[in-house]
Amino acid sequence: MKKLHIVGIIVIAVAIGVIFVSLKNTSTYADFTEAISNPEREYHIVGKLDKNQPQIYDPKINADQFMFTLIDNKGISKQVVLHKSKPQDFEKSEQIVLIGKIEGNEFHANDILMKCPSKYNDGKAQVN
């Protein structure tokens, strides 16, 4: 075999290995029940803010910790610890996607995505 063929086979083998490793580490959408059953895995949890529960954020103590309660799409409520500052207009969000893992009895999120209400309704701007 030529050296070029051997190098080509090695490059292909490394590329296949990288693809398998990256697929294994990707997170998936789930609910709290699935996240609890696999605490070592990272998930995207979709839900809504439980406005009846307190939100805890004190930037003087820890600016990178915000605690609140989320209700997932199956109605399960769980305390969330977001390892970031409190997002602007958080209370106005219609839907929240958290990216993180279950640790103990809490969901620890490293990132958050929020769907806020649109300023537009049927092509007309809403007046506040």
Query: Residue-wise pLDDT tens for the chain (128 aa)?
Result: 788 888 889 999 998 888 877 666 556 789 999 999 989 889 999 999 999 999 999 999 999 999 999 999 999 999 999 999 999 889 888 899 999 999 999 999 999 999 877 665 555 555 55
Q: How far apart are CA 16 and CA 81, in angstroms?
A: 36
What phi and psi, each to the nearest 5 degrees, are found at residue 30? -155, -175
Homologous superfamily of 28-117: Nucleic acid-binding proteins (2.40.50.140)
Q: Number of C-alpha atoms within 13 angstroms, CB side, residue 117?
A: 9
Domain boundaries, the chain: 28-117
**Residue 39 identity:** P
Q: How far apart are CA 107 and CA 60, in angstroms?
A: 23
Q: How far apart are CA 1 and CA 49, in angstroms?
A: 62
Beta strand pairing status for 106-115 and 77-82? Answer: parallel
Burial class (CB in 10 A: 0-12, 13-18, 19+), 83: middle
pTM of this structure: 0.70
